[in-house]
Amino acid sequence: MKVKKWDVIVISLFVVASFIPALIFTLNARADSGGYYVEIKVEGELYDTVQLTGNEGRKEIRIETDLGVNIVEFIDEKVGMYEADCPDKICYSPEYISRPGETIVCLPNRVVIEVKGETPDENDADIITGWISDNHE
């Protein structure tokens, strides 16, 4: 059986067209969401919520508890564990995260950093504090 030039063109067009719905869905999902934000939890309790989308520059949040000290670093639209006094240092990998569902966990100090996929409810807007503030120093 001989493959003709037009057979290859038609099959190629179908393959390319099959990716269009995924592209549209991805663009719509990102446009509909208010962007990404980060939840920081310490010992299972919400410690801080920070908007990740649109963040520029370097900022950090220092977390001091009876279990230890952690410094969470924001560089542009990524977040990572800059410093931790835990013995195993597993929380340094992955270095920085930026996509919804990604997490960094410092188990000895009980700190969890999670990227969420949309802006929190308006009722929760008052907990978006930004960066190092008086209550976190």
CB 74 within 8 A of CB 55: yes
CB 14 within 8 A of CB 6: no
Return the pLDDT at 54: 86
pLDDT tens for each residue of 55-101: 889 999 999 999 999 999 999 999 999 999 988 888 887 789 998 88
Return the pLDDT at 64: 93
The residue ranges of every structural domain in the chain are: 1-32, 34-136
pTM for this predicted structure: 0.62
Return the pLDDT at 135: 44
pLDDT for residue 47 is more than 90: yes
Q: Is the dihedral of CA 97, 94, 87, 107 positive or negative?
A: positive
- Tell me which of 131 and 12 has the higher pLDDT: 12
Amino acid found at 69: V
Return the pLDDT at 123: 42
CATH entry, 34-136, from 3.30.9.10, 2.60.40.10, 3.40.50.1980, 2.60.320.10 = 2.60.320.10
